[in-house]
Amino acid sequence: MPEKVVKTEAEWRQRLSPEEYRVLREAGTERPGTGEYVDTKTTGVYRCRACGAELFRSDTKFDSHCGWPSFWSPLAADRVQLIEDRSLGMTRTEVRCARCDSHLGHVFEGEGYGTPTDQRFCINSVSLTLEPSEST
Protein backbone atom coordinates (compact mmCIF):
# COMPACT_ATOMS: atom_id res chain seq x y z
CA MET A 1 0.00 0.00 0.00
CA PRO A 2 1.37 3.43 -0.90
CA GLU A 3 2.03 6.08 1.71
CA LYS A 4 -0.88 7.25 3.87
CA VAL A 5 -2.84 10.24 2.52
CA VAL A 6 -3.54 12.85 5.18
CA LYS A 7 -5.58 15.98 4.50
CA THR A 8 -7.49 18.43 6.65
CA GLU A 9 -11.26 18.32 6.47
CA ALA A 10 -11.11 21.68 4.66
CA GLU A 11 -8.84 20.13 2.01
CA TRP A 12 -11.21 17.16 1.63
CA ARG A 13 -14.16 19.56 1.21
CA GLN A 14 -12.32 21.33 -1.60
CA ARG A 15 -11.41 18.08 -3.34
CA LEU A 16 -14.75 16.25 -3.04
CA SER A 17 -18.29 17.11 -4.10
CA PRO A 18 -20.78 17.60 -1.24
CA GLU A 19 -22.22 14.07 -1.77
CA GLU A 20 -18.74 12.51 -1.96
CA TYR A 21 -17.75 14.33 1.23
CA ARG A 22 -20.93 13.22 3.03
CA VAL A 23 -20.31 9.55 2.23
CA LEU A 24 -16.50 9.34 2.26
CA ARG A 25 -15.70 11.64 5.18
CA GLU A 26 -18.91 11.56 7.25
CA ALA A 27 -19.73 7.83 6.78
CA GLY A 28 -22.96 8.55 4.94
CA THR A 29 -24.76 6.14 2.62
CA GLU A 30 -26.13 6.72 -0.85
CA ARG A 31 -29.71 5.64 -1.50
CA PRO A 32 -29.97 1.99 -2.62
CA GLY A 33 -30.19 1.41 -6.35
CA THR A 34 -29.02 4.91 -7.26
CA GLY A 35 -25.24 4.47 -7.58
CA GLU A 36 -23.52 4.44 -10.95
CA TYR A 37 -21.79 1.08 -10.35
CA VAL A 38 -24.70 -1.01 -9.00
CA ASP A 39 -25.27 -2.87 -12.28
CA THR A 40 -21.92 -2.22 -14.01
CA LYS A 41 -20.32 -5.24 -15.69
CA THR A 42 -17.25 -3.37 -17.01
CA THR A 43 -13.92 -5.14 -16.44
CA GLY A 44 -11.43 -3.09 -14.48
CA VAL A 45 -10.20 -1.86 -11.12
CA TYR A 46 -12.28 0.07 -8.60
CA ARG A 47 -10.33 2.83 -6.85
CA CYS A 48 -11.05 5.00 -3.82
CA ARG A 49 -12.65 8.18 -5.12
CA ALA A 50 -10.89 10.25 -2.43
CA CYS A 51 -7.27 9.11 -2.88
CA GLY A 52 -7.13 6.81 -5.93
CA ALA A 53 -5.97 3.67 -4.08
CA GLU A 54 -6.82 0.41 -5.89
CA LEU A 55 -9.39 -1.38 -3.74
CA PHE A 56 -11.41 -3.98 -5.69
CA ARG A 57 -11.28 -5.79 -9.04
CA SER A 58 -14.31 -6.34 -11.21
CA ASP A 59 -13.78 -10.11 -11.13
CA THR A 60 -14.80 -10.10 -7.44
CA LYS A 61 -17.96 -8.05 -8.05
CA PHE A 62 -21.24 -9.96 -7.93
CA ASP A 63 -24.98 -9.34 -8.14
CA SER A 64 -26.28 -9.35 -4.58
CA HIS A 65 -29.44 -7.39 -5.45
CA CYS A 66 -28.97 -5.25 -2.32
CA GLY A 67 -28.89 -1.87 -4.12
CA TRP A 68 -25.14 -1.23 -3.84
CA PRO A 69 -22.10 -2.66 -5.65
CA SER A 70 -21.02 -5.86 -3.91
CA PHE A 71 -17.63 -7.55 -3.92
CA TRP A 72 -16.60 -10.82 -2.29
CA SER A 73 -13.05 -9.64 -1.55
CA PRO A 74 -10.86 -6.53 -1.65
CA LEU A 75 -7.85 -6.45 -3.98
CA ALA A 76 -5.64 -7.24 -0.96
CA ALA A 77 -6.32 -7.34 2.78
CA ASP A 78 -4.11 -4.29 3.38
CA ARG A 79 -6.19 -2.10 1.05
CA VAL A 80 -9.10 -1.75 3.48
CA GLN A 81 -9.57 -1.29 7.21
CA LEU A 82 -12.38 -3.13 8.97
CA ILE A 83 -13.84 -1.28 11.95
CA GLU A 84 -16.62 -2.29 14.33
CA ASP A 85 -19.62 -0.01 13.80
CA ARG A 86 -22.28 0.09 16.55
CA SER A 87 -24.33 2.91 15.02
CA LEU A 88 -28.03 2.52 14.26
CA GLY A 89 -28.51 0.16 17.23
CA MET A 90 -26.73 -2.80 15.61
CA THR A 91 -23.23 -4.18 15.22
CA ARG A 92 -21.79 -4.07 11.70
CA THR A 93 -18.31 -3.95 10.20
CA GLU A 94 -17.43 -0.69 8.47
CA VAL A 95 -15.06 -0.76 5.50
CA ARG A 96 -12.63 2.15 5.10
CA CYS A 97 -9.85 2.86 2.64
CA ALA A 98 -6.59 1.96 4.38
CA ARG A 99 -4.74 4.74 2.55
CA CYS A 100 -6.94 7.75 3.41
CA ASP A 101 -9.42 6.46 6.03
CA SER A 102 -12.44 7.28 3.86
CA HIS A 103 -15.70 5.42 4.47
CA LEU A 104 -16.53 2.96 1.69
CA GLY A 105 -19.42 0.91 3.08
CA HIS A 106 -19.82 -2.25 5.18
CA VAL A 107 -18.95 -5.93 4.95
CA PHE A 108 -21.36 -8.73 5.87
CA GLU A 109 -20.71 -12.45 6.33
CA GLY A 110 -22.75 -15.62 6.42
CA GLU A 111 -25.54 -14.50 4.12
CA GLY A 112 -25.30 -17.60 1.93
CA TYR A 113 -24.06 -16.03 -1.29
CA GLY A 114 -22.23 -18.53 -3.50
CA THR A 115 -18.94 -16.66 -3.37
CA PRO A 116 -15.50 -17.99 -2.38
CA THR A 117 -15.41 -15.97 0.86
CA ASP A 118 -19.10 -15.86 1.92
CA GLN A 119 -18.55 -12.12 2.39
CA ARG A 120 -20.38 -9.20 0.82
CA PHE A 121 -18.44 -5.95 0.73
CA CYS A 122 -21.39 -3.59 0.23
CA ILE A 123 -19.74 -0.42 -1.12
CA ASN A 124 -21.19 2.98 -2.03
CA SER A 125 -20.71 3.80 -5.73
CA VAL A 126 -19.87 7.39 -4.79
CA SER A 127 -16.88 6.05 -2.83
CA LEU A 128 -15.40 4.50 -5.97
CA THR A 129 -14.13 5.27 -9.44
CA LEU A 130 -13.85 2.52 -12.03
CA GLU A 131 -10.74 2.32 -14.16
CA PRO A 132 -11.72 0.10 -17.10
CA SER A 133 -9.18 -2.44 -18.36
CA GLU A 134 -7.68 -1.70 -21.75
CA SER A 135 -9.09 -3.81 -24.56
CA THR A 136 -6.63 -6.16 -26.18
The whole domain housing 53 covers 9-132
Q: Average pLDDT, whole number, for the chain?
A: 93
Q: What is the mean pLDDT of residues 7-35?
A: 96
Cα distance between residue 77 and residue 92, in whole Å: 18
Nearest residue to 105 (alpha-carbon basis) of 129, 86, 80, 130:
80
Residue 4 lies inside a defined structural domain of this protein: no
Instruction: Identify whether 3 is part of a domain.
Output: no
Domain tally, the chain = 1
Residues 48, 51, 100, 122: which is the catalytic one? 122
Instruction: Tell me if residue 122 is catalytic.
Output: yes
The reply to whether 21 falls in a domain is yes
pLDDT of residue 136 exceeding 90: no
In a domain, 2, yes or no: no
Contact 130, 37 (CB under 8 A): yes
Whether 36 maps to a domain, the answer reads yes
**Higher pLDDT among residues 88 and 86, named by residue:** 86
Q: Is 45 exposed, middle or buried (CB count within 10 Å of its CB: 0-12, 13-18, 19+)? A: middle
Tens of pLDDT, residue by residue over 90-108, are 788 999 999 999 999 999 9
What SS3 state is found at 21?
helix
Here the CATH number for the domain that contains residue 59 is 2.170.150.20
